[in-house]
Amino acid sequence: ILNMQIIKVILLFLSLKLLAQNNTDLKKGGAFSLFYENSWQERFEKLKPHWHYSWNWELRENYPDGIEFVPMIWGRGSATQSKIDYLNNLASIGKIENVLLFNEPDLVGQSNMSVNEVVNLWPLIETLNIPISSPATSAPLNDWMKDFMEKASNQNLRVDFVAIHIYHKNDSDKFIELIKEVFQTYGKPIWITEFAVRDTNATENNPNIYSESHVISFMQDVLDEIHDLDYVKRYSWFDPNANNEKYPMLQTADIINENNQLTTLGEYYASYNPNNNLSNHKKKINEITIYPNPSKNLIYIDTDSSSLKASIFDLNGRILMKKIIKTQMNISGLKQGVYFIELSTEIHKTTHKLIVKK
């Protein structure tokens, strides 16, 4: 009997450990812009992130399966009623779960917005029906960020989590100390949407002082720590573009090169908390084609699949049509307007915008 009790305790302990591990499963992300859109699938399969953002608000057609897309309202130009409506529509059909906001508004070269401008836009932002981030400043405890968070608190503005960038803590202990200080200061869940080891003095003629071994050691220590911090919900290592003039500053932090080959650092990032669903959702970018689009009465679907489940949604997320199809679908019953059509097999799923013209 005693042995059985011990076994039960051990099994309970293991189940709790697995549960705790599952709670961290979605933490690791990837950040790749529209510049890399044609290689998103390959990069995701190699780095195995659970979520991705592109510094853009739009869910692109044929977006890869098996990974969460997180849109971003990058600056004032994206903070419009039409884009808020678009994102709420995506949320209503389960395509997005979170939204990131305003990329480095404290910097002239980025979204370049004053605190008051952002605060004035916030009533519109708050109409999003899913969790929203704070603006992501170039440093999480700078004056801009503190001023915004104070005004948000005083005016009872909704900020569901804090998005932060960290490039100025190249020692793992100091990095974690800063994370803890951010949480103590703002008291909000944290997404680390950009971080890496950077030598601000490095140029083509002045080599980066941080060796690859130093950066690997940094990554190992930091990832272990932030996975144990419950209030750190997501993180995404920043991968530099080798064609950028500032690349030497981040050269040893590169995780995947311009030919989509993993570096040694990238191999470690890929192995840590991997998203293994990506290999089960492999999909070519142009696997499914719908034509004509716009259409009036009939659409054709070009695919290798023998049959597809097709669902058509209006902009409010309501299902208007749902059927099994092979190569074509009659849409004569739809009024003129813009719709979403979701096509799926047992392992593939893709959403397209469909325009009906009468």
Give per-residue pLDDT as tens, 42-95: 999 999 999 999 999 999 987 888 899 999 999 999 999 999 999 999 999 889
Residue 282, judged by CB atoms within 10 A of its CB (0-12, 13-18, 19+), counts as: middle
Q: Tell me the average pLDDT across 6-35.
A: 61
Please tell me the least confidently modeled range out of 277-281, 310-314, 350-354: 277-281
Average pLDDT over residues 104-120: 98
Residue 310: pLDDT over 80: yes
Q: Are strands 319-325 and 162-166 parallel, antiparallel or unpaired?
A: unpaired
Share of the chain above pLDDT 90, in %: 74
Name which residue leads in pLDDT, 88 or 20: 88
Burial of 15 (0-12, 13-18, 19+ CB in 10 A): exposed
Kindly state the helix (H) or strand (E) to which residue 301 belongs, with its residue range.
Answer: strand 298-302
Instruction: State the pLDDT at residue 350.
Output: 80
CA atoms of 300 and 339, how far apart (whole Å): 16
288 or 95, which is more confident: 95
The tokens describing 350, both together, are 């893709």
Backbone CA torsion sign across 132, 137, 139, 141: negative
SS3 (DSSP) at 286: coil
**pLDDT band at residue 25 using 50, 70 and 90 as cut-offs:** confident
pTM: 0.75
How would residue 19 be classed by pLDDT, with cut points 50, 70 and 90? very low
Q: Where are the domains of the chain?
A: 24-280, 289-356
Q: Is the CB of residue 284 less than 8 Å from the CB of residue 273?
A: no
Cα separation, 301 vs 19, in Å, equals 41
The dihedral region occupied by 321, where left means phi > 0, alpha psi between -120 and 50, and beta the remainder, is: beta
Calculate helix-pair angle for 172-186, 143-154, nearest 10 degrees: 30
Residue 346 has pLDDT above 70, yes or no: no
- Alpha helices, DSSP H only, in 63-171? 81-92, 115-125, 143-154
Cα 327 off chain centre by: 33
pLDDT score, position 97: 94
Statement: residue 258 has pLDDT above 90: yes
Sign of the CA dihedral with 321 first, then 322, 324, and 326 last: positive
User: Does position 23 have pLDDT exceeding 90, yes or no?
Assistant: no
What gap in Å lies between CA 210 and CA 200, rounded to an integer? 11
Residue 252: pLDDT over 60: yes
- Section 10-34 average pLDDT: 62
Work out the pLDDT band at 347, boundaries 50, 70, 90.
Answer: low
Q: What integer best gives the mean pLDDT of the chain?
A: 89
Phi and psi, residue 63, nearest 5° = -60, 135
Domain at 24-280, CATH homologous superfamily? Glycosidases (3.20.20.80)
Fold classification of 289-356 (topology level): Immunoglobulin-like (2.60.40)
Separation of alpha carbons 212 and 263, rounded Å: 10
